[in-house]
Amino acid sequence: MTQNRLSNTYINTWQCCINTSCVILCREGEGHGSSSVPLSFDASEDKKMAALRVVVLSGIGRAFLCTPKMIKAPRANMSFASLPRSKKVALTTLGVLTTGGAGLALMLQQSVKASDLELHPPNYPWTHSGMLSALDHASIRRGYQVYKQVCSACHSMEYLAFRNLVGVSHTEAEVKVLAEEIEVVDGPDESGEMFTRPGKLSDYFPKPYPNPEAARVANGGALPPDLSYIVNARHGGEDYVFSLLTGYCEPPAGVEVREGLYYNPYFPGQAIGMAPPIYNEVLEFEDGTPATMSQVAKDVCTFLRWAAEPEHDQRKRMGLKVSWQGGANHCRNRNGCNQKCICNLGCIQ
C-alpha cells in the first residue's frame, strides 16, 4: 500500500515537472518575442521532447530514474511471519487438525488382530541360557519321563530316535530297555508278510496316531503339533512353552470360551483345544524330585530344548575353544615367540 502511494506520487511529480518545463519554455519564448500562449501537455512533439530533456537533466529526474523500487511492480509479501496473529493461529490449528485426522484414519483402517491381544511370556532365567552354560542333563532325563508319561499320548516326536538318548540322559542299557517296551511293525519277512518286533536303538519314537486325520478326530478337529522342534518353531522358545503349560486359568469377566476349549492367555486367541496337561503331582520322578507344576514344566522344556538343539553343549564348547585358540595365537604373535600362550597370561615355559 505504501509503495503504491509512493509510485503515484512520483508519477504525479514527473507529470508536473514536464508541465512546469513546458511553461518555462513558453516563458523563455515570450522573452524572445514568441507567442505568449501557454504550452499545455498536449503541445507539439518537439516541445514535449524538449520539456522531457529538461526534466531528465534536472535533479528531480535523475533522482527518479535512480530509484529502481519506484518503477518496479509491487510484490505481495506472503511469508508466515508477516501474517497477523489471528491468521497464524488459524493456520496452525488447521495443520494440527489435518495431521490428527490423518493419524486417526490410519489407526481406524488397521484391523485389530487376535495376536495383538495375546499375553507375551516373560523371560525366565534358564540355567542353560548363558554363554558358557550347559544343559541340565538330570532335568533332560526327568523331562523325557514327562514326555513319555504325559505328552506322548497326543504329541509325536518323529525326528528323535532312542539312540539319541544314549550318553545324554540315559545309559545304553537303559535306552535298550526303553526301546524294547514298544512294538514296531517291520517287514516284510521271507513270506512277504509284515510282522511286529520289539523296538531297538535305531527306532524313532512311536507316533500316537497312524495319520493326521485320526489325530484330528481324536482331538475335536485340532491337530497336536510334533514336539521335535517346538521350541524353535514358537516365538519365545521355552519361555512360551513354559508359560503355556502353566498359564491355564479361568476366563476373565465378559470373556466366553465355547465348549471343548480352555482359556489360556498365552495362546493366540486365548482359547486352546488342549486340556491342562500338567498339575501338581501329575507323576512321580524316578530321582525323587517333587513333581510340582513348575518343576514338571521346567524339566519338559529343558528336554524339548535339547531335542531341538542336541548340539547345544558341543557348540558352546567349540566356541570356547575357538576363542581360546584365537587368544593364544594373538599372544604368540605379539610376544614374538613360538611358545604356547594363553590369552594375556604370557608364555607358558
The predicted-structure confidence for 11-22, as pLDDT tens digits, reads as follows: 454 454 445 444
Number of C-alpha atoms within 13 angstroms, CB side, residue 316?
12
Arithmetic mean of pLDDT, 207-233: 96
> What whole-number distance in Å separates Cα of residue 176 and Cα of residue 125?
34
Tell me which of 83-92, 111-120, 125-134, 180-189 is least confident: 111-120
> What whole-number distance in Å separates Cα of residue 230 and Cα of residue 113?
23
109 against 106, higher pLDDT? 106
pLDDT at residue 136, as a whole number: 97
- Binding residue positions for heme c: 151, 154-155, 274
Can you tell me which residue has the cell 492367555?
265
First to last CA, the chain: 97
- Binding residue positions: 151, 154-155, 274
Mean pLDDT for the chain overall: 79
Give one DSSP letter per residue of 108-120, joined into a string: HHSPPPGGGTSPP
pLDDT > 70: percent of the chain: 66
Question: Cβ(224)–Cβ(274) under 8 Å?
Answer: yes
220 against 45, higher pLDDT? 220
User: In 3D, which of 37, 40, 42 has the Cα closest to residue 27?
Assistant: 37
pLDDT at residue 324, as a whole number: 76
> What whole-number distance in Å separates Cα of residue 273 and Cα of residue 257?
11
Question: Cβ(304)–Cβ(146) under 8 Å?
Answer: no
Judged against a pLDDT cut of 60, whether residue 332 lies above it is answered with no
Taking the model in full, what pTM does it have?
0.63
The model's confidence at residue 71, banded by pLDDT at 50, 70 and 90, is: very low
Tell me which of 112-126, 243-257, 313-327 is least confident: 112-126
pLDDT at residue 274, as a whole number: 96
> What whole-number distance in Å separates Cα of residue 159 and Cα of residue 310?
12
pLDDT at residue 339, as a whole number: 53
Packed helices 45-57 and 2-31: angle between N→C axes, nearest 10 degrees: 120
Question: Cβ(255)–Cβ(271) under 8 Å?
Answer: no
Question: Cβ(157)–Cβ(226) under 8 Å?
Answer: yes
> What whole-number distance in Å separates Cα of residue 327 and Cα of residue 343?
4
The model's confidence at residue 28, banded by pLDDT at 50, 70 and 90, is: very low
CB-based contacts of 154, cutoff 8 Å, min separation 6: 208, 215, 218, 219, 224, 274
Q: Which long-range contacts (CB under 8 A, 24 or more apart) does 119-127 make?
A: 119/243, 119/247, 119/265, 119/266, 120/236, 121/236, 121/239, 121/240, 121/242, 121/243, 121/244, 121/266, 122/239, 122/243, 123/239, 124/238, 124/239, 124/242, 126/238, 126/302, 126/305
pLDDT at residue 181, as a whole number: 96
Question: Cβ(205)–Cβ(151) under 8 Å?
Answer: no
Q: Which three cell numbers stand for residue 47?
A: 516541445
> What whole-number distance in Å separates Cα of residue 48 and Cα of residue 170?
124
> What whole-number distance in Å separates Cα of residue 176 and Cα of residue 298?
26
Q: How many beta carbons lie within 10 A of that of residue 64, not counting itself? A: 18
